[in-house]
Amino acid sequence: YRYIIYNHKYRPAILRSGQSHYHQKLDISLMQQAAPLLLGEQDFSSFRAVQCQSKTPFRKVQHLTIERRGDYIVLDIKANAFLHHMVRNITGSLLEVGMQIRPPQWIGDLLAAQNRILAAATAKPGGV
């Protein structure tokens, strides 16, 4: 699963579909510090949409990278399966880390809490 963010103060004039736009400056080094906390088999209830119909919130995230390519930030995540809106909910919380609203270890706290209400807003749907 790949989520692409155009990270610039102005919206892109072309190539608008298939990417999301965030005008705030994002510190991807902080986002990268948080990413390993999401690896492995864990309960992803904090990143699960209310309407998710999966019988279990346990998923195994095998790979998660975040890199900057010019004005683009690319989040790549691989798992054995995804919950409804799981990647967008993870991205929304990682964005709060990148905007320095929350520290990287907050992602681990969210996983432990197993409570969607404590996580950030769902990232925009355009990033995929």
> Model pTM?
0.91
What are the tens digits of pLDDT across the range 111-125? Answer: 999 999 999 999 988
The confidence score (pLDDT) of residue 10 equals 74
Task: Of 87, 96, 73, 103, give the one whose Cα is nearest residue 38.
Answer: 87
- Going along the chain from its start, the domains and CATH numbers come out as 2-127 (3.30.70.660)
What are the tens digits of pLDDT across the range 76-121? Answer: 999 999 999 999 999 999 999 999 999 999 999 999 999 999 999 9
Residue position matching structure tokens 């950030």: 120
d(CA 123, CA 94): 10
* Residue at 91: amino acid letter: T
The confidence score (pLDDT) of residue 14 equals 62
Q: Does residue 15 carry a pLDDT above 80?
A: no
Helical H runs in the chain? 28-34, 86-98, 106-113
Cα-flanking dihedrals φ and ψ of residue 91, to 5°?
Answer: -60, -45
